[in-house]
Amino acid sequence: MKLLAVRRLLRIQRVVVRYQLDELLLELPLPAWLRALAWLLPWRWRPRKPLQLSRGMRLRLALEELGPIFIKFGQLLSTRRDLMPADIADELARLQDQVPPFPEGQAIALIEEQLGASVGRLFTRFDSHPLASASVAQVHAAQLKSGEEVVVKVVRPGLKPVIRQDLAWLFLIARIAEKVSADARRLRPVEVVSDYEKTIYDELDLLREAANASQLRRNFEGSALLYVPQVYWDYCRPQVLVMERIYGVPVTDLSTLADQRTDMKLLAERGVEIFFTQVFRDSFFHADMHPGNIFVSTRTPWDPQYIAIDCGIIGSLTDEDQDYLARNLLAFFKRDYRKVAQLHIDSGWVPADTKVNEFEAAIRTVCEPIFEKPLKDISFGQLLLRLFQTARRFNMEVQPQLVLLQKTLLNIEGLGRQLYPDLDLWSTAQPYLERWMRERMSPRHVLRQLQQQAEQVPHLSQIARETLERLHQSGQPQAVERHWPLHLIGAALVAGGVLQGPGYLPDTWPAWLMLTSGLYLIARR
């Protein structure tokens, strides 16, 4: 493994030299010491002919040659036209679905191996030339014997060894960074890379993607917001996925969307609504929402509907994370920076001894300028930099479980900028979050939580019986036998009250009522 990793590093170096990416590095506003280090690279002392390629093309070709992890990084950069020059962003956008395909013969051989029959027996028609090709897989158009038009997705051969080597270097860099830098330790790079390792390997399993697509389709069944193609499970295997072929306009094809008179403002607002619905209603969100995976239906442009494909990367949040995020966002919308600061402290994201008033002032300084501005005037790149500086001052830690969510937010923002630059992200999101919080505190939701907690009663009963047996052995059976039903009910109420609050702290009147009643019953003699 170490030898393979060294070979991989040498290949990365060769690609950097071949496409003269060090020249692009020197165009950036680097610190003096890093610029001096770049000039000392050995290949810079040899004469080189200038490449007759644009800087964007050089970067794109290099990322394509280096493989899936680098391609996905380029896909993310392509959505951030506020951070990238237009010529580079245009070239990197081709990484979304125009990566050079692998040979047709390999694709057909893999399909036949996985499905156990020739493509002629499986399909009425199979187009050997791929419709699209991306970092992990490519898709071919086909028609089933039953007449349905479908696409066949096939995983690229030989990916795992390359990914394994790249991840080995990422882990090494992360471990070194944690040892030498306190700032890096706060960012928890090893945990971030570990989460990414799981994500990228999950994406190689097309059965997992098929299951994700089926779940997302159920979540939005009959919705005017989002359509997810049907999966044909009889034709799905770990390296082959067959699903309904969709016909829509790529979300970045602004001229076609304008020609069909698409309501761009509504389209942008629905993108925000879809995101918050997935995160807060379902806790199941599409976490690879770059433009290559998103289309717009042509049926009703005045009432636009999104179409989502490629569900290989899905994120989810715990109830505590959902509550924490919703309360933070609402506090941001209301400019209640003290509550934001207190929520960070209560959740353990910053040390418990942090001074709330100082942290509040720092957050206000960072966030106040972004309000009452349209999306086109907000630079989230600069905002993230300012937040990082604030984090360093207060030792705030990055939460690895939210990395996918942060990546998705970057994609959503980049998409929103392209569709409708004047979108007011805050006024679009705030009503949804307020409605979600009201529903969380409604009697119906509380009852549903109680029903879920009731399912834990048999387990609590077992604990109570074990406690009774221990007390019998200690010679205190009579009081326990007389009150054990009340103690059992009290334990259930305490569990129900505690589990309703973020970070296991109740913060609604039903939760506090359950908690205090339960403690009373447990303490009763």
Residue 411: CA count within 13 A, CB half-sphere:
27
Same domain, 384 and 346: yes
Give the pair of three-digit tokens for residue 473.
């052995």
Per-residue confidence (pLDDT) for residue 241, from 0 to 100:
96
Per-residue confidence (pLDDT) for residue 297, from 0 to 100:
93
Q: What's the domain count of the chain?
A: 4
Same domain, 75 and 168: no
pLDDT tier for residue 505 given thresholds of 50, 70 and 90: very low
For residue 134, pLDDT over 60 is answered with yes
Give whole-number Cα distances, 480 to 3, 252, 422, 475, 514, in Å: 66, 68, 66, 10, 22
For residue 65, pLDDT over 60 is answered with yes
Residue 124 maps to a domain? no
Same domain, 433 and 477: no
User: What whole-number distance in Å separates Cα of residue 243 and Cα of residue 230?
Assistant: 6
Give whole-number Cα distances, 307 to 96, 99, 111, 159, 415, in Å: 16, 21, 26, 28, 14
Residue 117 gets the label, from left (phi > 0), alpha (psi -120 to 50) or beta, of beta
For residue 340, pLDDT over 80 is answered with yes
Of the listed ranges 244-258, 402-416, 499-513, the least confidently predicted one is 499-513
Which amino acid makes up residue 43? W
Which residue has better confidence, 230 or 435? 230
Angle at 394 between CA 505 and CA 32, to 5 degrees: 150
Per-residue confidence (pLDDT) for residue 502, from 0 to 100:
47
User: What whole-number distance in Å separates Cα of residue 251 and Cα of residue 307?
Assistant: 9
Of the listed ranges 11-20, 117-126, 251-260, 501-510, the least confidently predicted one is 501-510
Q: Which of 87, 166, 183, 288 is catalytic?
A: 288
pLDDT tens per residue, range 341-372: 888 888 777 888 888 898 889 888 888 877 66
Mark which of 78, 96, 114 sits at the end of a domain.
96
Residue 416 maps to a domain? yes
Same domain, 381 and 318: yes
Residue 380 maps to a domain? yes
Same domain, 429 and 474: no
Residue 389 maps to a domain? yes
Which residue has better confidence, 374 or 156? 156
Per-residue confidence (pLDDT) for residue 5, from 0 to 100:
64
Active site residue 288: yes
User: What whole-number distance in Å separates Cα of residue 106 and Cα of residue 237?
Assistant: 16
Give whole-number Cα distances, 9 to 4, 155, 360, in Å: 9, 24, 44
Residue 76 maps to a domain? yes
Mark which of 96, 113, 130 sits at the end of a domain.
96
3-state secondary structure of 22: helix
Across 496-522, average pLDDT:
57
Q: Tell me the sheet residues that pair with 137.
A: 155
Residue 243 maps to a domain? no
For residue 514, pLDDT over 70 is answered with no
pLDDT tens per residue, range 451-488: 555 555 566 556 655 655 665 565 555 544 555 555 55
Residue 206 maps to a domain? no
Same domain, 496 and 429: no
Across 193-206, average pLDDT:
81
Spatial neighbors of 336 by CB under 8 A, at least 6 apart, are none
Residue 302 maps to a domain? yes
User: What whole-number distance in Å separates Cα of residue 114 and Cα of residue 111?
Assistant: 5
Same domain, 434 and 449: no
pLDDT tier for residue 306 given thresholds of 50, 70 and 90: very high
pLDDT tens per residue, range 34-47: 666 666 666 666 66
Per-residue confidence (pLDDT) for residue 26, from 0 to 100:
63
pLDDT tens per residue, range 88-124: 878 887 776 667 888 889 999 999 999 999 999 999 9
The mean pLDDT of the chain is 77
Per-residue confidence (pLDDT) for residue 106, from 0 to 100:
92
Which amino acid makes up residue 85? P
Domain span including residue 495:
443-523
Mark which of 410, 440, 470 sits at the end of a domain.
440
User: What whole-number distance in Å separates Cα of residue 77 and Cα of residue 414?
Assistant: 9
Give the pair of three-digit tokens for residue 283.
């806790």
Same domain, 391 and 267: yes
